Amino acid sequence: MDYKDLANLIFPDVKDASYYEEKYPERKLKDGAMVVRFAPSPTGFVHIGGIYTSVICSKLAKQTDGVFMLRIEDTDQKREVENGVNGIIDALKKFNLEPDEGMIDENTSKGAYGPYKQSQRKEIYQAFAKKLIEEKKAYPCFCKQEDLDAMREKQENAKIRPGYYGAWATCRNLGLDEIERRIKNGEEYIIRFKSPGNPERKIKHHDVIKGNIDFPENDQDIVIIKSDGLPTYHFAHVVDDHLMRTTLVLRGDEWLSSLPIHIQLFEALGVKIPKYAHIAPIMKEEDGTKRKLSKRKDPEATVEFYAKEGIPSEAAIEYLLNIANSNFEGWRRQNKTASIDDFDLQINKMSVSGALFDMVKLLDISKTVISRYSKEKVYDLAINYANEYDEDLKELLEKDKEYTIKVLGIERGNEKPRKDIAKWSDLKDNIGYMYDDRFLNKEIEYSYQNINDKEEIKEVVRDYIDNYFDISDDKQTWFDKIKDLAEKHGYAREVKEYKANPEGFKGHVGDVSTVIRVALTGRHNTPDMYEIMRVLGKDSVIKRLEKAIC
Ligand code: GLU
């Protein structure tokens, strides 16, 4: 018996690795095209970090005429949940990050480099494991968990580096006859890689994000095929990214320390090593220390959070691009209406350590994104949200669609559009006061700011209704009339005028218009009051002003 016979004994039915090399040839793409992948495990939970990785993948593929793949890593079948794959696909769809290749539902995929689900690639991994066994670079290991535990205890007691390596790798040196006998006896085994490494030596690596790093070589004989015949992450990664012709492996930096293993495996298979970019996780500050955004503690770690809050996915994407490349913000300021496709993402400009999640910034970006939308688009997105999450909002929006669109159109579509809406879950609060059936029947707590005297307020509002308000006025006339009203009641027509002579006036035009605004809407902060009056209409304006002073 030789090593070829051993390989055949272990994997009698698999094809030769060369078959797969031919089946999945080098891709014919233009120079510089990047082939990247998002490779999640279907655990039933999509972390916003996964969307972050996918945004980067998708941008790089688009920018270089490359390929963005979705590969499902389901070799740890204990962690798998039903419908986990669909959950991932839906999340990517929601964020407009549909991959060019990969899984399109639980069991179907598109693209010529599939299957894209690891559990369907069992024979492929086995073909490459077989090749390594033939070449004496991998071997079956019969050690049981108890043996490994006992070994670890010995190592710990003797204060020796733990693991399966060197002289501790007992199955490494079994003779072929013994191996054959034990396999034929039906003993359970796994396949381990025979590491050629020596930790006294260093390997040098250039990571596209982290820069130059060196590591001690790996000398652990890691498991490549488990007892269920499926590969470990390490082996699957190397085989898949080789055969899928990935050019850049973008993944979380928790994998950085495994890189020496991966490099060794690529070398053992005699294939080209892709580039790597290890992404720092998004962080959260808690009690003065930074930690990774956690799915258990931080609602914003889950993709559902964005849907439930009604933060448009476009806003979340802009926020993530902003974390990825800090110059995105400046670019956006210069290119207010450009598509994000026009932004040139630079992977080497990504930060080496993790950025802090900043909710204020996210909502700020969201306000700007929403401010760019047309009133019809705001309506459509808001109604989609309401259908799913808020019955009452749905009722409000649908009762008089035409009116609602007018409300949403206030201060929109101009040079400086309104920026008060950050998320659909706030919309009721943003526009609820515009609906007479809600406003007129409600107890309102009017807070008039500078002018507090009830009689004074009554006089001003009464006078406005009786002598100044005319719904058909143009904006200039409307505003001049508010100034006239102010002047008549002892307030300066202009703020400047008041500042120059504060003793000479009770206040200024701003104080008076605030009184009208608060009486009209119950708030002192609203979009343009003239537009609000036009949308409300004459009767509503009068009813509201009367209500305030009755
Ligand atoms: N399945 C691995 C994970 O979810 C993927 C790492 C990689 O992208 O290679 O962490």
Q: What is the spatial distance between Cα 217 and Cα 202, in angstroms, rounded to a whole number?
A: 6
Q: Could you tell me the pLDDT band of residue 44, with boundaries at 50, 70 and 90?
A: confident
Helix (H) or strand (E) holding 488: helix 475-488
**pLDDT tens digits, residue range 113-138?**
999 999 999 999 999 999 999 999 99
| Residue nearest atom 5 of ligand 1, based on CA coordinates | 39
CB 523: neighbour CB atoms within 10 A? Answer: 13
**pLDDT tens digits, residue range 439-460?**
999 999 999 988 989 999 999 9
CB 156: neighbour CB atoms within 10 A? Answer: 10
**pLDDT tens digits, residue range 503-538?**
999 999 999 999 999 999 999 999 999 999 999 999
The answer, yes or no, to whether any atom of ligand 1 lies below 6 A from the CB of 73, is: yes
The answer, yes or no, to whether any atom of ligand 1 lies below 6 A from the CB of 248, is: no
The CA-based dihedral angle spanning residues 62, 65, 67, 68, taken in that order and rounded to the nearest 10 degrees: -10
The CA-based dihedral angle spanning residues 64, 237, 122, 168, taken in that order and rounded to the nearest 10 degrees: 170
Decide if pLDDT at 9 tops 70.
Answer: yes
Q: How far is the CA of 253 from the centre of ligand 1 (A)?
A: 10
Q: What is the spatial distance between Cα 481 and Cα 466, in angstroms, rounded to a whole number?
A: 12
The answer, yes or no, to whether any atom of ligand 1 lies below 6 A from the CB of 40, is: yes
* Strand arrangement, sheet containing 138-141: 138-141, 190-193, 223-225
SS3 259: helix
SS3 148: helix
Cβ proximity of 350 and 210 under 8 Å: no
- Fold exhibited by the domain 32-112+280-372: Rossmann fold (3.40.50)
Q: Distances in Å between the alpha carbon of 288 and those of 94, 284, 293, 323?
A: 34, 10, 14, 21
| Residue nearest atom 10 of ligand 1, based on CA coordinates | 40
Q: Could you tell me the pLDDT band of residue 107, with boundaries at 50, 70 and 90?
A: confident
| Residue nearest atom 2 of ligand 1, based on CA coordinates | 40
Residue 250 CA: which ligand 1 atom is closest? 8
**pLDDT tens digits, residue range 230-286?**
999 999 999 999 999 999 999 999 999 999 999 999 999 999 999 999 999 999 998
| Residue nearest atom 1 of ligand 1, based on CA coordinates | 40
Q: How far is the CA of 279 from the centre of ligand 1 (A)?
A: 12
The answer, yes or no, to whether any atom of ligand 1 lies below 6 A from the CB of 251, is: yes
**pLDDT tens digits, residue range 347-395?**
999 999 998 999 999 999 999 999 999 999 999 999 999 999 999 999 9
Give the Cα-Cα-Cα angle 58, 54, 427 (nearest 5 degrees).
Answer: 100
What average pLDDT does the structure give for the chain?
96
**pLDDT (0 to 100) of residue 426:** 96
Q: Where are the domains of the chain?
A: 3-14+122-279, 32-112+280-372, 375-434, 454-549
SS3 215: strand
Q: What is the spatial distance between Cα 322 and Cα 220, in angstroms, rounded to a whole number?
A: 40
Q: What is the spatial distance between Cα 73 and Cα 119, in angstroms, rounded to a whole number?
A: 8
| Residue nearest atom 4 of ligand 1, based on CA coordinates | 40
Q: Give the closest residue to 489 by CA, choosing from 471, 472, 505.
A: 505
Pocket mutation for ligand 1, best pick of 41, 80, 275, 276 (most atoms within 8 Å of C-beta): 41
Q: Which amino acid is at 425?
A: S
Q: How far is the CA of 141 from the centre of ligand 1 (A)?
A: 26
**pLDDT (0 to 100) of residue 79:** 67
The answer, yes or no, to whether any atom of ligand 1 lies below 6 A from the CB of 39, is: yes
Q: How far is the CA of 255 from the centre of ligand 1 (A)?
A: 8
The answer, yes or no, to whether any atom of ligand 1 lies below 6 A from the CB of 278, is: no
Q: What is the pTM of this model?
A: 0.92
Percentage of residues in the chain having pLDDT higher than 90? 94
Decide if pLDDT at 550 tops 90.
Answer: no
The answer, yes or no, to whether any atom of ligand 1 lies below 6 A from the CB of 72, is: no
Q: How far is the CA of 251 from the centre of ligand 1 (A)?
A: 6
212 token code pair? 């130059």
Q: How far is the CA of 233 from the centre of ligand 1 (A)?
A: 8
Q: Could you tell me the pLDDT band of residue 4, with boundaries at 50, 70 and 90?
A: very high
SS (H, E, C) 372-430: HCCHHHHHHHHHHHHHHHCHHHHHHHHHCHHHHHHHHHCCCCCCCCCCCCCCHHHHHHH
Decide if pLDDT at 407 tops 80.
Answer: yes
Pair type for strands 67-70 and 35-38: parallel
The answer, yes or no, to whether any atom of ligand 1 lies below 6 A from the CB of 41, is: yes
Q: How far is the CA of 234 from the centre of ligand 1 (A)?
A: 10
Q: Is 89 exposed, middle or buried (0-12, 13-18, 19+ CB in 10 A)?
A: buried
Pocket mutation for ligand 1, best pick of 76, 232, 233 (most atoms within 8 Å of C-beta): 233
Asked if the 454-549 domain carries CATH number 1.10.10.350, the reply is yes
Q: How far is the CA of 99 from the centre of ligand 1 (A)?
A: 16
Check if 3-14+122-279 and 32-112+280-372 are the same fold: yes
The answer, yes or no, to whether any atom of ligand 1 lies below 6 A from the CB of 237, is: yes
Mean of the pLDDT values across residues 332-343?
95
Long-range contacts of 55-59 (CB under 8 A, 24+ apart): 55/95, 55/97, 55/317, 55/320, 55/321, 55/324, 56/250, 56/279, 56/324, 56/345, 56/347, 56/350, 57/99, 57/250, 58/97, 58/99, 59/321, 59/340, 59/343, 59/345
Mean of the pLDDT values across residues 13-35?
97
**pLDDT (0 to 100) of residue 449:** 84
Q: How far is the CA of 293 from the centre of ligand 1 (A)?
A: 17
Question: For the structural domain made of 3-14+122-279, what CATH number should be given?
Answer: 3.40.50.620
